[in-house]
Amino acid sequence: LTDGHPHAVQNNIICSHLTSSLFQQQGIVDISCHTLLWKLKNGQQDILDITTTTTTTTDGNTTPKQKYMDLCLISDCIHFTNFHGALLATIARLLKIHGKAILCQPKRGTSLDLFLELLRHVNDSAMYHGEDKEQQEQKQQQSSSSSSLKPCPLFQVQLIEKYDDTVTSLHEKSLIDHVDTYDVNKHYPFMLLLTKMREYDEEKDTLVIEECIKSR
């Protein structure tokens, strides 16, 4: 459980202790709380601090082991448009290959569309991940068919508007009963599902993100 603000982290720690005490007998709660700042550059060490665990060998020695995330849950964070690049890089560093991130947030003006545009830009720029432009041109010349060149996106992206019958029902009811106060743009959460397809390239992917952000 992470946050970038120290007061929020302290609140998370208190809540985790309360939650653990409720389920202590079942022994099913194992919550750790960390400070994590989203960083586009130089964010690798912060991720290592969170994902590194130690294992004890039979001879009593301890060895570090990386344990990346199967699932990340991100609640209402995309409206920070100035930090889109840092958020995307942080998610990519945290997840294991084929790990998933579920982001839930309303559209909030153009913030969601801008984040989706950034995802598309990173994915499109990774058609030949790991190869520079000259290598790409050489491979195209050597190949008689471009069908052998497979894209390698960073994320598989799914935007889901209707994901829960109860939420949909309340949404439709609010459109009628609370027309003066219910604002779909601010209040209705869309679900964005990201599946990590490859490793994050600290040099190339970061550069692509920077270029996309600057072009806004």
Query: What is the pLDDT tens value at each position of the chain, 216 positions in all?
Result: 999 999 999 999 999 888 888 876 666 667 889 999 999 999 999 999 988 887 777 787 878 888 899 999 999 999 999 999 999 999 999 999 999 999 999 999 999 999 999 999 999 987 655 455 555 555 555 544 444 445 689 999 999 999 999 999 999 999 999 999 999 999 999 999 999 999 999 999 999 999 999 999
64 vs 1, 56, 111, 133, 151, CA distance in Å?
21, 9, 39, 37, 34
Which two structure tokens, joined as six digits, stand for 214?
A: 């600057």
pTM summary value: 0.83
Give pLDDT, residue 215. 94
- On whether the CB atoms of residues 128 and 136 are closer than 8 A, the answer is yes
Calpha distance 162→144 (Å, rounded): 44
Beta-sheet strands, E only, within the chain: 2-3, 34-35, 52-56, 62-66, 69-75, 95-105, 155-160, 190-196
The residue written with tokens 């570090």 in the block is 64
What's phi and psi for 171, nearest 5 deg? Answer: -60, -50
Give pLDDT, residue 20. 83
Give one word for 72, left, alpha or beta, with left for phi > 0 and alpha for psi -120 to 50. Answer: beta
| Nearest to 116, CA basis, from 214, 186, 191, 44 | 191
Three-class HEC string of 31-80: CCCEECCCCCCCCHHHHHHHHEEEEECCCCCEEEEECCEEEEEEECCCCC
3-state DSSP assignment of residue 129? coil
Give pLDDT, residue 163. 96
